[in-house]
Structures are given as C-alpha cells and as structure tokens.
Structure 1
Amino acid sequence: MVVDKGGIVFANGQGEFWTDERCYITELHNCDASPEASLAVARVEVGVTTQLHSLTGVIERYVLRQGEGILEVDGVKQKLRVGDQAVIPAGAAQRIENTGSVDLEFYCLCTPRFFPDSYVSLE
C-alpha cells in the first residue's frame, strides 16, 4: 500500500487470496503507516474448519458479517452469528468452523498489525 502526504492509503489491488489456514483473506488495511492495527475480511467456505493456530503478540477481533460458525479459543467453543464479536487474546489457540449454509465472512481486526511471522500453525 502507498501512503500520500495527507495520510491517505491507496488500495494495492491485491484482492482476495487463499491461505494455508484454509480460508480466503482480503486485506483492507495493513501498512507501515499504521503499525498499531490491521483490518481484513476472512471468508471460510461451507463445511470448512480453519487451521488451529495462534498469533504471537497480536490480539485479534472477529466481527461476523455473514453466515454462522463455531469459534474455538483455547479449547472453548462458542457459536457465533451475524453481528457477534469475539476478542481472541494474543497467543491463544484458535480456529473457526463454518456450520452454516453460506460462506462465513468476518472482519479481522488485529492489534498491533498482522505480520505473517506472527502466525503459528498448531497442527
């Protein structure tokens, strides 16, 4: 992403991409000009459970915008629906399962911003 002198962050045109986590990600905001946070949309297909993982030093917040699923954080499972929010502590083991009939979509707000090096597969 490119930032102009006025603090505007221009889109990078990357769009949605597949991850080894078994979901699609669209990064909405993740740049050097804003190290305190990043924002993305995750999309999990029907019947899929994401990879069990943790984020080192990163707190993640989910805000569901479509579908329903079961979020597991450190072995505790909770059903989530549209509008529900979850705060996942840094270092917590986490995954989400799409239990609905449409793709599960949610915003992922990370503080500080997400870096691939913070991702730890637990599988």
Structure 2
Amino acid sequence: MDIFNLDEVPAFTTKDSSEIRELLSHRNSAIRQQSLAEARIPIGRQTIAHYHKKTEEIYYITQGTAEMKIDGEVQSVTVGDAIAIPPGATHQITNTGAVELRLLCCCAPPYEDHDTVLLED
C-alpha cells in the first residue's frame, strides 16, 4: 500500500519554476499512468509560461487566488476551482493573492521535465 503525507514529501523545483511536492507517481508508488503533486507559488510570483507535448493536466486550487492563462485566455481562479489543461496548451499561473498559492496538479502521463517546453527565460 502506497500512502504519502504531504508534510513528509520532499520539495523540488520543476522546470517551470514551481515548488512541487510529488505525492504519487511511478517514482515512489505503484501508480504508472498519472501523477499527483502539490505546487506552491509565493505571493506575487508566477510559473514560466510553458506547455507539455504529451501530458494533460488538471490544476485544483486549494489555497489562495490566481490568474490562470491558457492559450492567451485569462481568468481569475480561487479555492475549489479545477482547471483543465490539454496537451500542447500554453499555460501560466500567477499568484495574485495575499497568501502562498497552493494547487494540486494531476498529470497523465506522469509529470516529466523533458515533456515541458518553456516559452520564457
């Protein structure tokens, strides 16, 4: 049985500059076709605009407010919002709130740096 607590999972920085805590993936569990991670973005910061060649993502906001940009469309998002990001869609999220932004990231296939294409430095 694979069970991991968020408070016990080490953080790392992804290619898009997010601080990630990968909860479940092929790297630490029996899960093979997807991954689940929590991302944290400090107040006033944003991810680097990017897309994934193969991976589709779901973002689920658990803390804070943000501006979500997908293929040029911009919308405000907040706690409880789920965001669909298809493969190939350019996306970027900006923390617009007064607290650290936290969101769950579900990726299928599982997140890999080599599938991430950055659009800014």
The interval holding the TM-score normalised by the smaller chain is 0.7 to 0.9
Question: SS at 2:110's partner residue?
Answer: coil
Fraction of identical pairs, as percent: 35
Aligned ranges for residues 1-123 of structure 1 at < 5 Å? 8-9=1-2, 15-31=10-26, 33-123=30-120
Are the aligned partners of 1:41 and 1:107 in contact in 2 as well (CA < 8 Å)? yes
1:56 and 1:94 map into 2 onto residues whose CA distance is 12
**SS of the residue 2:114 aligns to:** helix
Q: What TM-score comes out, normalization by structure 2 length?
A: 0.88
Task: Give the number of equivalent residue pairs.
Answer: 115
Bigger Rg over Cα:
1
| Cα distance in structure 2, aligned partners of 1:18 and 1:114 | 13
Say which is worse superposed, 98-107 or 112-121, in terms of deviation. Answer: 112-121
Structure 1's consecutive aligned runs of 4 or more residues displaced over 3 angstroms after TM superposition are: none
Q: Cα deviation per residue 1:8-54 (whole Å; 9 max; x = unaligned)?
A: 2365x651123342321000011163221100000000000110000
Note the C-alpha offset of 1:69.
Answer: 0.2
Counterpart in the other structure of 1:5: none
CA distance in 2, matches of 1:63, 1:10: 20
Larger deviation: 50-59 or 111-120?
Answer: 111-120
Matching residue's letter, 1:117: H
CA RMSD of aligned residues (A): 1.5
Structure 2: segments with no counterpart, 5+ residues: none
- Structure 2 counterpart of 1:29, one-letter code: L
Q: Is the 8 A contact 1:22 1:48 kept in 2?
A: no
- Per the alignment, in what secondary structure is the counterpart of residue 9 of structure 1? coil
Instruction: Judge which range, 17-26 or 99-108, deviates more.
Output: 17-26
User: 3-state SS of the aligned residue for 1:117?
Assistant: helix
Q: Unaligned stretches of 5+ in structure 1?
A: 1-7
